[in-house]
Amino acid sequence: MLRILALIGAFVSLALAQAPGTLENIRVGQGEGGIRAVLDLSGPAEYQVFALENPPRLVVDVLQASQGAVADRVVNRGFLQGYRIGRQPGATRVVFDLDAPARFTAFTLTGPDRIVLDLTFARALAAQLPPIPERLAPGLTFQRAFHQTQAGETVVNLLRADLNLIRPQVRFAHPPQPPTQLAGGALAAINANYFDPATGMALGLVITAGQVLSLPLGRAALGFTADRRPLFGLPQLQAPAPLAVAQGQWSDPHWAQVVEAIEAGPQLLSGASVVLGRTGEVFQGDVIDTRIDRSVVGLDSHQRLVLFTAAATTLPEAAAIAQDLGLVEALQTDSGGSSTLIVGGVRSDSLAPERPVPVVLTLWPR
């Protein structure tokens, strides 16, 4: 009898340990450019989050959880209209009704247990950015657009330059300078190289006014010849000594004609196809998969030079944006806090302080 009771007790304990939690409350607060929603739980729970369109919604399925006293609510705060709660097989579902697509992150906290959702609205952030005219100069236009990613909508700041009317020029500084300072006087500029934070020296190919200031590392590069012809590739330069560049041999002889060039990478597009991960360039996984700001340069089907920054995207998403914009060639020039697009002496893509960089690609009237 005691053995039977012990077994019954073991089953009861197991059932209690695996008992479904309860969604007890939902709290909503507003921050700069976004909203935080907190789902309070009675215990740990697994969850799934995904976005829906037409109309925009964010859905949270709290798995194996029951609905407590929490109920539907109209919020009308920022871009959040409210939320609705219902049951799905094996889950309690919370649907957040939105006025615009949102980019989201989700994570859990303990003590007490809760699911935290941070919703960022690209259109709210874009409204805070400096207004930029669409036409900046003959042959140079600006556009602020919105693109959908797996984590929601993101803002893209974009320049298109007709190389018959606009002249690209690489500017270099050591120690690094804020991009607005380094690009002083230019119509526009984008940060265009990686560098060693310890020394401030550029990493990879830098050519300005025909002078090779830094040797290539075999990563994706963009160069311009004296007759305005753009070159994309992964050039190598074999020189008898670091200072004997003039006696060196390029892996592609066309690069011997280049007078302006930058190197960063990885290459995103070639011939309008995504080549990310297929060029032999070596980058750590977090460089590719982390959702951070990106700087990209490329060429569209009309042979216009394109510079753009995209907020909080992975590299595959940046490649998809480049394709959506009609680019046929594209490479990343930087990412993270250094990602910067300067237009008319003003940072167009963020309100954050500028980070000093050693290399920018600038645009000038011919």
How many Å apart are CA 53 and CA 293, to the nearest integer?
24
**pLDDT tens digit string along 26-43?**
999 876 568 999 999 999
Q: Which residues of the chain have pLDDT under 70?
A: 1-20, 31-33, 240-247, 286
Domains of the chain, by residue range, sit at 21-120, 129-365
**pLDDT tens digit string along 268-298?**
999 999 999 899 898 877 678 888 999 999 9
How many Å apart are CA 278 and CA 183, to the nearest integer?
33
How many Å apart are CA 271 and CA 39, to the nearest integer?
47
* pTM, two decimal places: 0.77
Contacts of 229 (CB under 8 A, 6+ apart): none
How many Å apart are CA 169 and CA 210, to the nearest integer?
11
How many Å apart are CA 340 and CA 191, to the nearest integer?
6
Find out whether 312 and 164 touch, Cβ atoms under 8 Å: no
Q: Which amino acid is at 28?
A: V
Residue 59 CA, chain-centre distance (Å), reads 23
Q: Give the per-residue pLDDT at 16.
A: 30
Considering the domain delimited by 21-120, tell me its CATH architecture. Answer: Sandwich (2.60)
Furthest-apart CA atoms within the chain: distance in Å: 97
Q: Which amino acid is at 210?
A: G
How many Å apart are CA 33 and CA 350, to the nearest integer?
12
Find out whether 294 and 313 touch, Cβ atoms under 8 Å: yes
Tokens at residue 10, please? 């073991």
- In terms of Cβ atoms closer than 10 Å to its own Cβ (0-12, 13-18, 19+), residue 241 is exposed
Rounded to a whole number of angstroms, the CA Rg of the chain reads 26
Q: Give the per-residue pLDDT at 88.
A: 92
Return the C-alpha torsion angle 49, 53, 54, 57, nearest 10: 30
